[in-house]
Amino acid sequence: MLQLRESWIIENDGILQIWNTYQAAWEVISVLELKDRIISEIKKECFPDLEFLFSAQALSVSIDAFKLILAEESEVFETVLQKNVNDLEFENFIYFSYAECFYNFLYHIKNCRKTEINEDVLKNIEWIFIEFQDRKYQSYSYFERICFVLAHRELNSSQTRVLNLEKEKCEQNGVHLNDQQKTDYLKHKKTLWSLSQEYMSNITNSRSEISFHIIDDSVLSDMPEHLIKEALMLAEKEWKKGYIFSFNMANQWALLKFCDDENIRREVYIAGATLWWDNNAEIALKMIQLRSEIAQLMWKKRYSDVSFSTKMATSPEEVVSMYSEYALEYSETGKNVVKEICSYFSLNELNVVDYQYYFRKYSEDNYWIDQKELQKHLEFESIIQWIFEALEEVYGVRFEKTDIRTYDRDVQVFSVSYQWRKLWYYMPDFFADSGKRPGWWADALKKSTDWHKIMTNVCNFSKSTHGKNYLSAYDVRVIFHELGHMLHEFLSPQNYSQLSGFEVEADAIELPSKFNENLILDRWVVNLYMRHEDTGESISDEILSSLQKSASLGKEISFLDGIQRSLFDLEIHWEFPPKSIEELRKIGYRYYSQLTPLQTVDRTDYDLASNFYNLFHSPLWTYVAWFYSYIWSDILQEKLWNKVQQSGGIIESPVMKKYIGEMLSKWASKPSMELFEDVMHSSIRASV
């Protein structure tokens, strides 16, 4: 749990008296000293003191400290506007945003260890930052100055790319709008921001309120032991018999896959499919309609056109056409798989509630996978270290644990070096927490041109309070996926932070992470990381073969689920958005029921919009009208992986070397389409 000093804070004439619960004494410090220290930590060349930055006393003055940092940034911006255009050079547009860095850290702690104080601070800071960004990118004078330097200065390719990206941001934020339209745009954006805060709070709060009390332990015989022990301890804590499973993502996944009681599985599934049914559906509808109004302000027929202005895909129609073809292909193969499972277990049908359970049972029976034996190869501390060693062999990236303290003893910091040059800090936060947002993600907390870049991966793995922690096979996939994002950012160019890996086209951002998933069951990589916790021996060829076969089982259903969500996303952001909650739910259920070979639950037990947080969790970073990027990237990476395999494998393949040297190391330096074609020696259109 996050250890914050108690918020017993008394202010008197700029002096703070703070009760220190550790020393049972009052500390006296001036507000000015606190602000100065916060700013110093944010600007520190090495890793900042997060224990201090996230403490109650620092958070109590963080809003004012942020305003001071932003004032410095605003002054730099005003200097560009006041400068005679003939005196402008490329360097006038390059500066490191400490305000963005500070915002990123606060956004991180709010999403990982939410408290009332850090949530309130972020709410205030986030909108201040949004307003500044909009003022900057809606400034026509700033836009004109970018265009002037592009036209009248000799720039290298990286400098040209930086300014073109800056120019695109101006166009995306409505630089060509008149004053009234800009006012309306900001009004809509502020409403979207407020709604997104409420949407995610609803999901986080509802998950914390839901639990599953199971008395009959016979239905839990196949459940992972560490989850059983945690549920038993929770029940004992509440003076109840049996087991209480909190509704975190690890337990949700495990109950659907391992619980023998179909009624419990149904209860778990429906709970996940209907989180905050009425409240969030209403919020989602309002956000969709506001986005449509923003599109009209931008002279676009639909919001998806606004989104597609910076994508590899040329239009929503291209994606819809391509995905419709894939849906037909995968529907047929998916039906055959479902028919085989039904025949094996003598089922009349296989539904969405039970398919993970029966797929798991089928794999164990036919591929001889002993889950408990497999788990001995997935002990957390060992496998994390071994995965790091595997990445060093594949990518040349070396991880070393530091003694840097963070906001939680389970959150460690690693220094990361490349070709023996120390370049970055990596701070993964792996375990579930009651104050953590659901899901898994990666963030660049500090984008820098030197070795002080800071990256995080956030996961929601189940944590044991009484012994070793063990991962599931799916958890391992999540780690490789999120580490792919980490590599994407770390290996990108160091000359300009504006060309970091995360600045690529939105539908390219998932390609490195999806590609990295291929390493999971590659024999050469498996030898390095999937080893027995006691003996250190790698899994046998027989077990690996079984895992490879098992991994491909149900791939069609996962693929179709991604297409379902992608097409739903595009339709609700089409020319005519839904006008009612009922219409919104019908669209979601239509894709849900049509694009799966499984028997679905009733429409009253399913609401995609109410917990599709990829689309509604933030006005700044969402997958709005580009959730399709997961499938898009999957298609591209499969082509790339096949070419790597055909040309010698991950170590010997010249294609792999070119992928690392010409793609991972050059993200955002030029359009992703060109990077992909450089590696593949073929058109990206031919690949998709």
At the fourth CATH level, the homologous superfamily of domain 180-209+277-366+554-688 is Neurolysin, domain 3 (1.10.1370.10)
Q: Check whether 349 has a pLDDT greater than 80.
A: yes
Q: Report the share of the chain in percent with pLDDT over 70.
A: 93
The pLDDT assigned to 5 comes to 39
Could you tell me the pLDDT band of residue 13, with boundaries at 50, 70 and 90?
low
Query: Which parts of 371-464 fold into alpha helices (H)?
Result: 371-375, 380-395
Task: For residues 653-673, give the mean pLDDT.
Answer: 86
The pLDDT assigned to 626 comes to 85
Task: For residues 214-225, give the mean pLDDT.
Answer: 93
- For the ranges 27-31, 313-317, 403-407, 547-551, the lowest mean pLDDT is seen at 27-31
Question: What is the residue whose two structure tokens read 């991966």?
Answer: 457
Q: Which residues contact 152 (CB under 8 A, 6 or more apart)?
A: none
Query: pLDDT digits over 156-204, tens only?
Result: 988 999 999 999 999 989 999 999 999 999 999 999 989 998 998 888 8
pTM across the whole model:
0.89
Task: For residues 523-548, give the mean pLDDT.
Answer: 91
Q: Check whether 26 has a pLDDT greater than 80.
A: no
Q: Check whether 659 has a pLDDT greater than 60.
A: yes
Task: For residues 491-513, give the mean pLDDT.
Answer: 82
CA distance 100 to 374: 43
Q: Check whether 7 has a pLDDT greater than 70.
A: no
* Buried-state track 650-660, b at ≥16 Cβ within 10 A, e below 16: beebebbbbbb
Query: pLDDT digits over 100-127, tens only?
Result: 999 999 999 999 998 888 889 998 999 8
Task: For residues 415-434, give the mean pLDDT.
Answer: 87
Secondary structure string (H, E, C) spanning 297-334: HCCCCCHHHHHHHHCCCCCHHHHHHHHHHHHHHHHHHH
Task: For residues 615-639, give the mean pLDDT.
Answer: 82
The pLDDT assigned to 492 comes to 79
The pLDDT assigned to 1 comes to 32
Catalogue the long-range contacts made by 128-133 (C-beta closer than 8 Å, 24 or more residues apart).
128/63, 128/66, 128/67, 128/70, 129/66, 129/70, 129/99, 129/100, 129/103, 130/189, 130/190, 130/193, 130/619, 130/620, 131/186, 132/70, 132/73, 132/74, 132/99, 133/173
Task: For residues 387-405, give the mean pLDDT.
Answer: 95
Classify domain 375-553 at the CATH topology level: Neurolysin; domain 3 (1.10.1370)
The pLDDT assigned to 674 comes to 85
CA distance 51 to 407: 5
Q: Check whether 449 has a pLDDT greater than 80.
A: no
- For the ranges 210-219, 535-544, 673-682, the lowest mean pLDDT is seen at 673-682
Handedness of CA 365, 369, 370, 375 (dihedral sign): negative
The pLDDT assigned to 622 comes to 66
On the 0-12 / 13-18 / 19+ scale of CB atoms within 10 A, 592 is buried
The answer to whether residues 475 and 459 touch, using CB atoms and an 8 Å cutoff, is yes
On the 0-12 / 13-18 / 19+ scale of CB atoms within 10 A, 178 is exposed
Domains of the chain by residue range: 9-137+139-172, 180-209+277-366+554-688, 210-273, 375-553
Could you tell me the pLDDT band of residue 669, with boundaries at 50, 70 and 90?
confident
Identical topology for domains 9-137+139-172 and 180-209+277-366+554-688: no
- What is the CATH number that goes with domain 9-137+139-172? 1.20.1050.40
Residue of 74, 50, 73 whose CA lies nearest to 62: 50
- For the ranges 26-40, 449-463, 468-482, 639-653, the lowest mean pLDDT is seen at 26-40
Q: Could you tell me which residue, 273 or 175, shows the higher pLDDT?
A: 175
Paired tokens of 78: 């005003």
The answer to whether residues 484 and 512 touch, using CB atoms and an 8 Å cutoff, is yes
Task: For residues 656-667, give the mean pLDDT.
Answer: 87
Task: For residues 274-299, give the mean pLDDT.
Answer: 89
Query: pLDDT digits over 220-229, tens only?
Result: 999 988 889 8
- For the ranges 530-539, 646-655, 661-670, the lowest mean pLDDT is seen at 661-670
Task: For residues 479-502, give the mean pLDDT.
Answer: 85
- For the ranges 47-61, 301-315, 379-393, the lowest mean pLDDT is seen at 301-315
The pLDDT assigned to 499 comes to 82
